[in-house]
Amino acid sequence: MSGSSGLSIRFWGVRGSYVVPGPKTVRYGGNTSCMEIRAGDECVVVDCGSGVHDLGKAMLASGRKCVTVLFTHTHLDHICGLPFFAPAYKPDFQVRFMAGHLLADIKLQDIFERLMDPVLFPVQPVVFKECAFHDLKIGEALRFPNGLSVTTECLNHPGGALGYRFDFKGRSIVIITDHEHGERGTDDAVERFVEGADIMVYDATYTDAEYRSHVGWGHSTWQEALSLSRRAGIAQPVMFHHHPERSDDEFDRLREEIQTLFPAAEVAREGMLLEADAAARMLARPMEAREAPVGGR
Ligand SMILES: [Zn+2]
Ligand SMILES: [Zn+2]
């Protein structure tokens, strides 16, 4: 294996649906979807759920002056932190906002206008002077000057959602949320898209048992995350978009269960930092555990 790639992901919000502060969510966190990808000197934020508030503060404290923000989609749990993302208000901080799931006649900037309409929020997005908006075309790839490549894939979710794959110096991280498995064409495309990734963050909102009464809601299961990981040769699957009702204790038990089936698997929690190089090394761990059957699939 060559030297370190410097590709990593940090979680600032791991919940789906709505914010759940309180004593039962202290350890895994109650903020909604927000992740920070680092690739050398590049920094990309995925989603502006409530977790982006603290990320924004940390970014300003670090002295950064520019960032790219990608949205998986614009359901409320993925944008509710946006009006509280401090860098967007700074005249010397450049933010590029991008999304690609919207219908042709709706622009990402329109979503900002709606979210920060005067009846909903006291400040309008015209104050975001150094912010640019870009609507990605399906399949469009982004190339950063330092060699980071970001590619996209359509997911199965009401209103659409986009999966992102980050490739940098031979390492890769993919983010697949919000997504429901079971649609053959999309499943095949997603499997090809995530193939061989070192880290796969995956929508594990439900258990298989819970999923039976939530077919069509646009989310998947931890069992499916492990099954897809085996098929696609993922080194480290990470359960994400947690059900808001699940407590820390339940996640402890879930983590134990998934790690008996797939030792490198993780349950995302706020503050967790995962490095693609470390994930890649786990692929060399015992194959018998990786091949164990999961939940009848
Ligand atoms: Zn969501
Ligand atoms: Zn959604």
Alpha-carbon Rg for the chain in angstroms: 18
CA 177 to ligand 2 center in whole angstroms: 8
CA 186 to ligand 1 center in whole angstroms: 18
Residue 91's domain spans which residues?
7-290
Per-residue pLDDT, 297:
43
Query: What predicted TM-score, i.e. pTM, was given to this entire model?
Result: 0.94
User: How many independent structural domains does the chain possess?
Assistant: 1
Which ligand does the CA of 32 lie closest to?
A: 1
Q: Residues 6 or more apart from 11 whose CB is under 8 A from it?
A: 29, 34, 35, 51, 240, 268, 269, 270, 271, 272
Q: Residues 6 or more apart from 172 whose CB is under 8 A from it?
A: 7, 165, 166, 196, 197, 198, 199, 276
Written as six digits, the tokens of 270 are 């706020």
Residues 172, 276 contacting (CB under 8 angstroms): yes
Q: Is residue 125 part of a domain?
A: yes
| Alpha helices (H) along 195-275 | 208-211, 222-232, 248-261
Give the CATH number, domain containing residue 272. Answer: 3.60.15.10
Per-residue pLDDT, 284:
64
CA 184 to ligand 1 center in whole angstroms: 22
Nearest to 32, CA basis, from 69, 67, 68, 82: 82
Per-residue pLDDT, 296:
44
Per-residue pLDDT, 285:
57
CA 261 to ligand 1 center in whole angstroms: 26
Nearest to 242, CA basis, from 276, 206, 218, 214: 206
Which ligand does the CA of 218 lie closest to?
A: 2
Written as six digits, the tokens of 172 are 């890769």
203-228 pLDDT, tens digit per residue, is 999 999 999 999 999 999 999 999 99
Evaluate the CA torsion angle 105, 109, 111, 116 in order and state its sign.
Answer: negative
Which ligand does the CA of 14 lie closest to?
A: 1
Q: Which residues of the chain have pLDDT under 50?
A: 1, 287-290, 295-297
Q: Is residue 129 part of a domain?
A: yes
Residues 19, 242 contacting (CB under 8 angstroms): no
Which ligand does the CA of 19 lie closest to?
A: 1
Return residues with CB closer than 5 A to ligand 2 (ion).
Answer: 75, 178
148-193 pLDDT, tens digit per residue, is 999 999 999 999 999 999 999 999 999 999 999 999 999 999 999 9
CA 205 to ligand 1 center in whole angstroms: 9
Q: Is residue 297 part of a domain?
A: no
Q: Is residue 157 part of a domain?
A: yes
Q: Is residue 181 part of a domain?
A: yes
CA 269 to ligand 1 center in whole angstroms: 16
Which ligand does the CA of 13 lie closest to?
A: 1
Which ligand does the CA of 17 lie closest to?
A: 1
Q: Is residue 295 part of a domain?
A: no
Residue with tokens 């009702």: 245
Please report, for residues 44, 94, 126, 158, 272, the alpha-carbon distance to residue 83 in angstroms, rounded to integers and kept in the order given: 18, 16, 12, 24, 24
Q: Is residue 296 part of a domain?
A: no
> Do strands 66-70 and 42-46 pair parallel, antiparallel, or not at all (unpaired)?
parallel
Q: Is residue 284 part of a domain?
A: yes
CA 75 to ligand 1 center in whole angstroms: 6
User: b/e for 124-143, b at 16 or more Cβ within 10 A?
Assistant: ebeebebbebbbbeeeeebe
